Copies of this chain bind each other. A is one copy, B any other.
């Protein structure tokens, strides 16, 4: 059976909720990066056994949170032996702003995945931006490298946009499908 791991750091619960949507779509397992940037031994084992690793982080000051980066730096251990080579990779991010350099975060995920010898899968969702488009449409934020969510700075995780979460769920589903095909 295809195994998908969703490794993420969440500062205030928004990225957690996005991770849950991705994991739901993928039938995947959550691996949390804690407030000190650490992952449990069980978490590392889950990542090592996964067919696909999906990475999530808020966008803070133009890229992933330092906690996510600490995880990325610690992944130099599996990188050294290329243990994660040929796994499927994907990534997602939330921030308070419409753009706010979320593209920079996603391209960092891609760079990290490439260093691991991985295979990158994006949203596979076309854009749908006409005058009739609504904020809650799937992929309204129009990202192809990976799903983006935008939640106002004074909005709680409960107030996240349902279209952004559905985009995340569809992305998780796509990752699982590609991983299953590649595994066959």
A interface residues, Cβ below 8 angstroms from B? 37, 60-67, 69-70, 72-73, 75-76, 79, 82, 85-86, 96-104, 107-108, 110-112, 114-115, 117-127, 129-131, 133, 140-145, 148, 150, 152-155, 159, 178, 181-182, 184
How far is it, in angstroms, between the C-alpha of A65 and the C-alpha of B145 when the chains are bound? Answer: 20
Pick the contact of A98: B115, B124, B129, B145 (CB < 8 A). B129
Interface of A is mostly: loop
Q: Which residue of B lies closest to A76 (CB)?
A: B61
Copies in the complex: 4
Extra contacts, 9 of them, besides A62-B108, A120-B121 (Cβ < 8 A), are A60-B76, A63-B111, A66-B72, A79-B126, A96-B127, A99-B99, A103-B103, A130-B153, A181-B184
Is the pair A62, B112 in contact by a Cβ cutoff of 8 Å?
A: yes
28 A-B residue pairs with Cβ-Cβ distance under 8 Å, sorted by A, are A60-B72, A61-B73, A61-B79, A62-B72, A63-B108, A63-B112, A66-B67, A66-B72, A85-B124, A86-B124, A96-B129, A98-B98, A100-B143, A101-B115, A101-B144, A102-B103, A104-B107, A107-B110, A110-B110, A114-B122, A117-B124, A117-B125, A119-B178, A129-B150, A130-B152, A133-B152, A178-B182, A184-B184
